[in-house]
Chains A and B, each alone.
Chain A
C-alpha cells in the first residue's frame, strides 16, 4: 500500500517566519509534487520533482522553494511566510516506471495558517 506522509496536519506560523513542510513517500516513486488547495480554485501545482536534486516550477511557484535531497523526501519551503499563503498544502507522488502514470498518491495534507 502506497503511503505518503506529511510532517504536520495543522500548522500555525507568523508572518515573516521561514516554514518547512516535509513529505515522505515509501514506494520508491520518482515523481513528487506540492500543491496548494483553496476553495473554488482546486489544486494548483507549486513545484514538482522527477528525480533527486531535480525540481521544476509549477503554476504558482512564487514565494516557495523546494528541496529533494533523497528520493523519498520532498520538502516545501516558505522563505518568508505571508498571510496569502494560508492554505491546505498537499503532497503527492507517482511513478515513472513503465512510462506515463496518471495516478498520483496524495498525503493527508497540511493546513497552514499564517497570522
Chain B
C-alpha cells in the first residue's frame, strides 16, 4: 500500500519562504503531486514531479528525490491568500491514475 507523512501545521509571515515536506512509502511510483485547499473549498492541483529535481511554477516550486522517497513544496513571497491546507499525493501502482493523499499541512500566513 501507500502512506505519506507531512507536518500537520506550519506558520509563516507574509513575504517569507516556507517549505512543506512530504515523505512517502509506496509500492510502485509514478509521481508526487501537490494540491491546495482553502477552507470550505475544493482541492485544486498545484504541481507534480515524476522525475528527480525541482519544478517551478511562479511563486510555487516542488521538489522530488525518488531515492529518498521525499518531496517538498516551496512557497515564496508568501501572501495572506496562501493560507490553506496543502496535500501531497502519490501515484503508485493499481491503475486508473489513482492518487493516495497525505493528511495535509495547514499553512497559516501571518502579518
Interface residues of A (CB under 8 A from B): 31, 33, 35, 40-45, 48-50, 56, 58-59, 90, 92, 94, 96, 100-109
Main secondary structure of the interface of B (DSSP, over half): loop
Known: A42-B87, A42-B102, A42-B104. Contact between A101 and B43, CB under 8 A?
A: no
- With an 8 Å Cβ cutoff, the count of chain B residues facing the other chain is 26
Select A58's contact among B44, B48, B98, B103, beta carbons within 8 Å: B98
Q: Are B33 and A102 in contact (CB under 8 A)?
A: yes
Q: Are A42 and B103 in contact (CB under 8 A)?
A: yes
| 9 pairs of A and B residues whose beta carbons are closest in the complex | A102-B48, A106-B42, A42-B103, A50-B96, A43-B101, A103-B45, A102-B33, A42-B101, A106-B43
Give me 7 A-to-B residue pairs in the complex whose CB atoms sit less than 8 angstroms apart, sorted by A's number. Answer: A33-B98, A43-B89, A59-B1, A90-B43, A100-B91, A101-B97, A106-B42
